Chains A and B, each alone.
Chain A
Amino acid sequence: MTTTTAKSKVLPPPTERYSLLGWLHKNLFSTWYNALLTLFAAWLTYAMLKPTLTWIFGEARWDVISANLKLFMIGRYPIEQEWRVWAALFLLTWVIGLSWGSWVKKFELSGLVLLLIPVFMALLPFSMDDRLKILGLSVFSLIGYVIAKSQPATFSKVSIFAWLLYFPVGLLIIRGLTGDEGFFPVVDTQLWGGLMLTVLLSVLGIMFSFPIGVSLALGRQSKLPIISWISIGFIETIRGVPLITILFMMDLMLPLFLPSEIRIESIIRALVGITFFSAAYMAENVRGGLQSIPRGQHEASHALGLSGFQTMAFIIMPQALRAVIPILVSQFIGLLKDTTLVMILSLFDILGIGKAVLGNPDYIGTSREVYLFIAAVFWILSYGMSYASQRLETALGLGER
């Protein structure tokens, strides 16, 4: 402290090292009551885990899942047309591979992990045919990846078009084209179900509610009174009503307003209800983001001569949306789970299929297995979205500075 040489020395930060015993002592057995608590917690964990694990690996009748897997996945979609769902999936993985290869610059471990998931799934006791199809998912994405890697610059634009085209094309493949006969017979949307329906409603709901929500958020701040009144009216009306009520309205009231020869398919009515509901919440979340941007950003942009629209598009909106990514993802996860309410429109999403399966006398007493399976599916989807958003936040450098 007193010498000048010591003062200028750059020191490394102090490191803490523990042996396993040291760690145990410090964290679990530092005092006699901590030791007691540790032992108690260990006993409690054992007491709870043991019956759960014995049930999962011993007593549970998982055949209810494996026997009805097709129902859980695609509902009552005709089994002889099942290949079309696979075709849409292959196309999807190909587009994902394509954009991965052209957009992601450095080698990504998470890409490899995603690629390996189907490989591990193929190890599960499926039929040989299904195993090949599952492996096909990896193969198609790999093909897309390799193609894109050969010329990343051109394919980064191609990927955008591929995504824009994918949704109409994919839906067309699943829905069909050629009336009741032929190669691509139309499959009534009433027959779509299971996980396919859940994912479809969520993805399309997110896709449509996003632009509507952003427009409503901007509309609410508009200086033109008519636009802001309409936006406020829409947002407050929809937010003031539970989703289940909106879906009921769609089911019961809409036919009253429309001429009797127009019949809108349930899936469309459900989608419109979900989209409106999500858009109203989205609008408020985005508005929160817009308000978090300091006035100085508007001023600097205007002072540079950028118009109101350019300021919004290049300065305010990118920052506002970045700021609300975590909230938006929460909302999307909520939307995913809310799609289970389409049951009241007599659509069979994965939960509806679960209930239907339980109604089968062969599977009486298997509700634990069924609901646990459905919960696991929802958890995987929700956690996947959450994880993807965390990656997105890191990639966009949110929170760094």
Chain B
Amino acid sequence: MSENNNNDPIIVCQDVHKWYGQFHALRGIDMEVRKGEVIVIFGPSGSGKSTFIRTINRLEEHQSGQIVVDSIELTHDVRNIEAIRKETGMVFQQFNLFPHLTVLQNITLAPLQVHKWKKEKAEEIAMQLLERVGIPEQAEKFPGQLSGGQQQRVAIARALAMQLKIMLFDEPTSALDPEMIKEVLDVMTELAESGMTMLVVTHEMGFARSVADRMFFFDEGQIVESGSPEDIYNNPQEDRTKLFLSQILQH
């Protein structure tokens, strides 16, 4: 993770603003992410952390500022948006698997339609990914027949099947039972060790401490503080960060 063979930033955000009606949700976010970095974003609810990572693949539109992903600028141009979406995958809090398709079809759909792969190739890669997330035996089942943790692992495999460079995780474990959180975090840790660039919105502080390269604390649409996990945990500078950490680490 730390041995980046490449120091070029793969994501550059400059002064990103976003409003929902009158509500100023993002108030000038600046962030640079290098290839292979694992970024953890945390903060109270309503702080704009989810909104921010959703602007990176244009699930939310930013109204001013600049977002560049792998030297493609995110504009209104649909071709740019589709190009960026081919390089970024997203894992959602609510999994968002396609309930009418089997696990295997969930994973192969986008490669077949977007990359125009042959069916055999797509299914072979899908099975490899299911091995990797530890549930190859579930390939023919429907999402509704799986546990939450298994569903989230399928969602990760589905994103990975697109052979992408960046993974965005939007609170991937918040809808899971404690027993299932670990199985998902294990997959994410393995992914981080394999060198994937990851932006993770999470409150799993153990995961953050062991895996993250840098952490960003969001509050009221701004980055309050950022730094290595060591800095954030042991030596937070801002009162707001200290307060928040003391609240979530109590438990």
A310 on interface, CB distance cutoff 8 Å: yes
Q: A299-B59, A314-B109, A401-B144 known; A304 and B99 CB under 8 Å?
A: no
Question: Could you tell me the distance between the alpha carbons of A267 and B158 in the complex, rounded to whole angstroms?
Answer: 51
Q: How far is the CA of A299 from the CA of B55 in the complex (A)?
A: 12
Residue of A nearest to B145 (CB): A401
The answer to whether A305 and B96 have CB atoms under 8 Å apart is no
Which of the residues A303, A310, A318 comes within 8 Å of B100, measured between beta carbons? A318
Contact of A322 among B100, B145, B159 (CB under 8 A): B100
What separation, in Å, do the CA atoms of A322 and B98 have in the docked complex? 13
Contact A304 B114 (CB under 8 A): yes
B198 within 8 A of A: no
Q: Are B110 and A299 in contact (CB under 8 A)?
A: no
Cβ-defined contact, B110 with A304, below 8 A:
yes
Judge whether A343 is part of the interface by a CB distance below 8 angstroms.
no
Whether a CB of chain A sits under 8 angstroms from the CB of B162 is yes
Report which of A297, A310, A322, A401 forms a contact with B96, defined as CB distance below 8 A.
A297
A305 with B114: CB separation less than 8 A: yes
Within the complex, the shortest CB–CB distance from A92 to chain B, in Å, comes to: 30
Q: Confirm or deny: B238 has a beta carbon within 8 angstroms of a beta carbon on chain A.
A: no
Known A-B contacts A397-B142, A400-B144; the reply to A306 vs B114 at CB < 8 A is yes
The number of residues on chain A lying at the interface, defined by a beta carbon within 8 Å of a beta carbon of chain B, is 21
| Residues of chain B in range 103-129 having any CB-CB distance to chain A below 8 Å | 109-110, 113-114
Q: Is A305's CB under 8 angstroms from B82's CB? A: yes
Q: How far is the CB of B184 from chain A (nearest CB, A)?
A: 17
User: How many angstroms between the C-alpha atoms of A290 and B60 in the bound complex?
Assistant: 21
- Give CA–CA (A299, B58) in the complex, Å: 10
A244 within 8 A of B: no
The answer to whether the Cβ of B85 comes within 8 Å of any Cβ in the partner chain is: yes
> With A319-B99, A319-B100 in contact, is A304–B59 under 8 Å at CB?
no
Shortest distance between the CB of A240 and any CB in chain B (Å)? 34
B85's partner among A302, A314, A315 (CB-CB below 8 A) is A302
- Asked if A296 is an interface residue, CB under 8 A from chain B, the answer is yes
Q: Which residue of A is nearest B161, CB measured? A: A304
A-B contact pairs, 21 of them (CB 8 A): A294-B94, A296-B92, A296-B96, A299-B96, A300-B97, A301-B98, A303-B59, A303-B90, A304-B114, A304-B158, A305-B85, A305-B110, A305-B162, A310-B114, A315-B98, A318-B100, A319-B99, A319-B100, A397-B142, A401-B99, A401-B142
- B residues sitting closer than 8 Å to A (CB atoms) are 57-59, 82, 85-86, 88-90, 92, 94, 96-100, 109-110, 113-114, 142, 144-145, 155, 158-159, 162, 168
Closest 9 CB pairs of A and B: A401-B144, A300-B96, A304-B110, A296-B96, A303-B90, A305-B85, A305-B86, A305-B114, A310-B113
